[in-house]
Amino acid sequence: MKQEKKQQVLYQAKQWRGRKRVPDPQVPVFIVDDDMSYLYSLGFYLKKDSRCKIYCYSSGEDCIRNLYLNPRVIILDYYLSTDKPGAMDGLDVLKKVKLMKPETKVIMLSGQETLQVATTTLQSGAFTYVIKDVHAPFSIRNIIDILCGGNNWDPDAQGRAI
């Protein structure tokens, strides 16, 4: 009897989700950046939004190894450190993610304000390109809210993402 009631509650929850956009609980989001202070400060900021389960990685290889967690969004630094032999930069990681998980939205993040860098990332499959400045966390939060069906959109942050 309890099992039937549990299934009925789950069925009703699914029906409710179909009628109204309700954010999924604990949406997996990856942040990949070799700048540890930026990585964890952005992670802390996004974690305040309890709908996101934030995973922080300091290399592209770590990100690729953990794709089995099925992230809905990956925030990826364009200039990842390639000090180690065989290390992947942000563009390499983007291409690999799009091959392995094409449904995953990748937000490219970089301090480069050149049109060529933004165009290259978008042509390689990035969802959008965000310039790494003081407004980047707000822009990223808004993009994640839109992609994950939330309603915490901040109109003051619009237009800061390319």
Task: Say if 59 falls within a structural domain.
Answer: yes
The number of folded domains in the chain is 1
Task: Say if 3 falls within a structural domain.
Answer: no
Of 97, 85, 77, 89, residue with least CA distance to 140: 77
pLDDT in tens, 34-73: 999 999 999 999 888 667 889 999 999 999 999 999 999 9
Amino acid letter for position 91: L
Q: Domain with 43 in it: what CATH number?
A: 3.40.50.2300
Place of tokens 């299934």: 7
Whether 12 has a pLDDT exceeding 60, the answer reads: no
> What range does the domain containing 54 cover?
25-157
Q: How big is the chain by its Cα radius of gyration, in Å?
A: 17
By three-state DSSP, how is residue 52 classified? Answer: strand
Helical packing angle, 90-100 and 115-123, nearest 10°: 20
Task: Say if 93 falls within a structural domain.
Answer: yes
Task: Say if 5 falls within a structural domain.
Answer: no
Most confident of the following: 8-17, 23-32, 93-102: 93-102
Alpha carbon dihedral 32, 54, 162, 65, in 10-degree steps, equals 40
Task: Say if 15 falls within a structural domain.
Answer: no
